[in-house]
Amino acid sequence: MRKEVTEIERLREILRHHEYQYYVLDQPEISDQEYDDLMRRLRALEEAHPELVTPDSPTQRVGGKPREGFVKVAHSTPMLSLDNALNEAELRDFDRRVRDLLGGESPEYVAELKLDGLSLAAHYRDNTFALAVTRGDGSVGEDVTENARTIRSLPLRVKAPWPVFEVRGETVMDRAAFERLNAERDERGLSRFANPRNAAAGSLRVLEPTITASRRLDYYTYFLLVGGNPAFETHWESLEELHRLGFKVNSHRRLCRGLDELLEFCARWEAAREQLPYEIDGVVVKVNSVEQQRRLGYTAKAPRWAIAYKYPARQALTEVENIEVQVGRTGALTPVARLKPVEVSGVTVSRATLHNEDEIERLGLQIGDTVVIERSGDVIPKVVRVHTQGSYRRPFRMPAACPVCGSKVVREADEAASRCINTNCPARLKESILHFASRGVMNIDGLGDALVDQLVDRGLVKSVADIYDLKAGQLEELERMGRKSAANVVRNIEKSRQNPLPRVITALGIRFVGERTAVFLAEAFGSLDKIAGASVEELQRAEEVGPKVAESIFEFFREPRNQALVERLRAAGLRFSQEIRRMLVGPLQGLTFVLTGTLPHLTREDAKQLIEAAGGKLSGSVSRKTDYVVAGAEAGSKLDKARELGIPVINEDQLLDLIRVG
């Protein structure tokens, strides 16, 4: 026991030293692997002797979740919801009510698109983004500052005339990002998000900001509040000011002079909603004058000066004429419903994905049934439920042979998908090339469906690596390829050789390894050869790589065909090694501050929030680990200590500069 106590203490000292080198000084002295080994040893000892665990042990900080949960924050004024108008008549009623309550005045209205996302309040202090809070129950939300900071359209610095102000708006995920995310989740065997709104909510409320960062959210603002009240006399002016300040404000808005103009706006966007890159579910109508808003007031749960004109659900009834199967990159067979063409909100739909056999069973669907289909974000609509069973219905059976190459189809016991076992199946090769070339992977513009079909069908490409041998002359001879586009594709292929390591890893198309996992693998191993040579155990050192993913990676590199592919990609000059450092969140990330004395403008709590919102840490006492002491009037012994240790002392202005410069 004595021996263990000493070893535990020694390990903790060593680990603390290396953490300081890595996180504070950014000068690691040992590899991540050596560090992990030390940590593992300490963890094992602590597990064997739980009574020796202390809260200051490095195991209590590293490896756990970055945050336990979200802090609850009260809103400056409640974030209310809106009453709905489900049709023209209800919008007329709203207009009549408003005019009655205003004693016969005819107000101006502002019509804005109702983005289907999640509302979020963002607070700014000294022109710096300081706090973001979800709607929650309307009066109390959750602090999601670190996650919101990763949204690129949310400005971190602005130039506003108020020392503190708040904006409110909608966090959304556009359709393209939503589809990419779901595709990646399919790939990793995770459940799909039902619509972009759930995806946005799921991305904002994760405990790890790097996840939010990878999910590409957008933030459109629609309220500007100072002291909890509108900053301008009209809503329209607020929107214009938001735009001037650098916030994103939806440009599809209109100042309407009465009901007719409102109805026109609603109808126009109902017809055009599919052309928007994001989902909308209606139009929000607000009385423009803040003075009139005040007179109209609120009901218990919604303002009387605004209403949501909701578009009908985009559903339709149609018949399933057949169920066909498609072969994907991993050989998975996906059943797709062939529908009797039907129009859903302006788009003719003739196919709907059914995902897998289990889904068909869950729906109780057979060929010949009439079904309810719905478009909810996905370009490919989905079957919601069976409406009426067809009189000549017949069940779907997964084919025993691949519809493309005729090879055997198998379904593993623990899997939802059936797969074609032929790794040379042309359908798989085509899908592999498309995956390789796709955006976010090797980014080869111009290498799309039509070109890949021809390349594979004519035998010009028999393996993904063959694309690096293509010559512009060969491409020019293909259908729909001019001289210029051929040269472009070749140039884009050329350019892709420079792509960073995580992209190369993703491009291999290893099952369960999407963009995110690839980054973690690159980070943990630094080279493709190290990943290829790692055992299943070792692979699990990478973040988020569990036994199932590790097994899949291990198996991939044991397969001679894949080994050959890797060698050919190496010969093509792709990047096989690269040191990856995790993106740091916030300009003060890794820095520790101590506050002392009274600052001229900021209260202690303000300063604390600002520092923490920028990723910095606050400590109560000055030590060698302190990076800056922020001193105000009547600073005491902490200032002396800082001078004694030679730690930089800064004032309030300099603190704000640090946050800005970052």
List active site positions.
114
Pick the closer one to ligand IVH by CB: 85 or 545: 85
Alpha-carbon dihedral 208, 211, 216, 217, rounded to 10 degrees: -40
Question: Pairing between strand 306-310 and 84-85?
Answer: parallel
Residues 361, 362, 366: CA angle, nearest 5 degrees = 45
Residues that bind ligand IVH (CB under 6 A): 80-82, 112, 114-115, 119, 170, 222, 284, 303, 306, 308
Query: How far, in Å, CA of 131 to CA of 612, rounded?
Result: 10
Reduce the DSSP state of residue 368 to 3 states and report it: coil
79 in Cβ contact with 214 (< 8 Å): no
Query: How far, in Å, CA of 37 to CA of 60, rounded?
Result: 16
Pick the closer one to ligand IVH by CB: 222 or 593: 222
Pick the closer one to ligand IVH by CB: 70 or 220: 220
339 in Cβ contact with 323 (< 8 Å): no
> Which residue number places its CB atom closest to ligand IVH?
119
Phi, psi at 357, each rounded to 5°: -60, -40
Pick the closer one to ligand IVH by CB: 80 or 429: 80
Pick the closer one to ligand IVH by CB: 170 or 612: 170
Q: How far is the CB of 300 from ligand IVH (least distance, A)?
A: 13
Pick the closer one to ligand IVH by CB: 302 or 384: 302
Q: How far is the CB of 394 from ligand IVH (least distance, A)?
A: 44
111 in Cβ contact with 40 (< 8 Å): no
234 in Cβ contact with 294 (< 8 Å): no
DSSP string, 562-627: HHHHHHHHHHTT---B----PPP-STTTT-EEEEESB-SS--HHHHHHHHHHTT-EE-SS--TT--
Structure-token pair, residue 194: 């039902």
Q: Nearest Cα to 545, choosing from 19, 36, 26, 9?
A: 36
Q: How far is the CB of 175 from ligand IVH (least distance, A)?
A: 16
Close Cβ partners of 654 (under 8 Å, ≥ 6 residues apart): none
Q: How far is the CB of 177 from ligand IVH (least distance, A)?
A: 18
